[in-house]
Structure 1
Amino acid sequence: MGMLGVYMLADEATMNKLTDDDDLFEAVEEYGDKESTETYDIDKLWDGLHFLLTGVSAQNPIEGNKLSEFVVGTYVFDCDDFIAYTDPENIPEIIKAINEVEIDVLLQNADISKFKKAKIYPNIWIKKNEESLKQELKQEFLNLKAFYEKALNAQTGVLVSIY
């Protein structure tokens, strides 16, 4: 298995309910399992996407950096597992920032060996798989971008869970 990244649409009322629970992790996991919850599973590429966009691991989120917040959220909860939330007011700024990313240019200039050197999770960053890894990163970028656009259209926030 490993550390998987899951993004969920969540309005502020839902977030208030989840954060009132004594076990935030369990509450978020149950919320994500509901059939009615709109989710996007980035699998294990959350750290690679963060590194591609920011040059640092997602383990070191950059406060105020909209590309970092795109991957890891704007407000990180104080708990054992990684759970974060981006409220609806921050979604337009994040979308503006990601719309300015020229993903093909970014990928063309990306050096997969730097991912390995930076110990980006998971340990898959090898030169012989460079083209397929770049294609996967591009697809995850586009899918996550579309998910944030859904959040914007629904006027909701995005809940991020990485565990």
Structure 2
Amino acid sequence: MGMIGYFAEIDSEKINQLLESTEKPLMDNIHDTLSGLRRLDIDKRWDFLHFGLTGTSAFDPAKNDPLSRAVLGEHSLEDGIDGFLGLTWNQELAATIDRLESLDRSELRKQFSIKRLNEMEIYPGVTFSEELEGQLFASIMLDMEKLISAYRRMLRQGNHALTVIVR
């Protein structure tokens, strides 16, 4: 079973409850804390999105890469065998949105390589054919547009973005 990812819209009260909880690791409380919250679910495509924007796996992100942070969150809250939690505060969302919107899609397309994606085992156990490169890239760009839309909504609502990647 692989890891799935989603971006949860979380208000200040809930994020403070999560951060102040010291009884258990954050991952132990995550499902209860996020129950009922609005979220953008990208399932197992979270690492495709990271790869499409950065050329690297989210498991080995480049240090201080702003595009990596756009996917994984500006602040790492927990990173372990059971999953990853990243947080982008509301006041950081506008800059994140600007970064994503200013990307040159044609340049990203030129840099995208399904051969490299396969070599890096972004989706372990699956080898994608070269014929699918355009379709896969289009899917990544669609996920990016959905993420921008979700981030805009969070910004308008005064909420924060919590990146959740779990088994």
Q: Tell me the TM-score normalized by structure 2.
A: 0.85
Equivalent position amino acid for 1:115 in 2: L
Q: Which residue of 2 aligns with 1:89?
A: 91
Q: CA deviation at 1:67?
A: 1.3
Cα offset for 1:111?
A: 1.6
- Tell me what 1:129 maps to: 132
1:145 matched residue in structure 2: 148
Q: Which residue of 2 aligns with 1:45?
A: 45
Identity value in percent: 26
Query: Which shows bigger deviation, 92-101 or 57-66?
Result: 57-66
Q: What is the CA deviation profile of residues 35-69 of structure 1, one whole-angstrom value per residue up to 9, with x for unaligned ones?
A: xx110001111111111111211112344432111
The 3 A distance-change label for structure 1 pair 88 and 63 is farther
Amino acid of the structure 2 residue aligned with 1:41: D
Give the RMSD, CA atoms, in angstroms. Answer: 2.0
2:8 corresponds to: 8
**Partner residue, 1:119:** 121
What SS does the aligned partner of 2:162 have?
strand
- Whether the 8 Å CA contact 1:66–1:93 is kept in 2: the answer is no
Please tell me whether the aligned partners of residues 12 and 87 of structure 1 are also in contact (alpha carbons under 8 angstroms): no
Runs of 5+ unmatched residues, structure 1: none
Paired residues in the alignment total 161
Question: What secondary structure is seen at the aligned counterpart in 1 of 2:50?
Answer: helix
**1:101 and 2:98 equivalent?**
no
Extract unaligned runs of 5+ from structure 2: none
Deviation at 1:124, TM superposition (A): 5.0
SS of the equivalent of 2:138 reads helix
Give, as a single letter, the amino acid of the residue that structure 2 aligns with 1:44. K
Contact kept, 8 Å, 1:82 with 1:162, in 2: the verdict is yes
Provide the secondary structure at the position in 2 that maps to 1:77.
Answer: strand
Counterpart secondary structure, 1:78: strand
TM-score by length of 1: 0.87
Q: Give the match for residue 160 of structure 1.
A: 163
Q: Indicate the larger mover: 99-108 or 43-52.
A: 99-108
Relative to structure 1, the CA distance from residue 95 to residue 55 in structure 2 (aligned partners, 3 Å threshold; closer, same or farther) is same
Paired residues of 1:32 and 1:39 also in contact (CA < 8 A): no
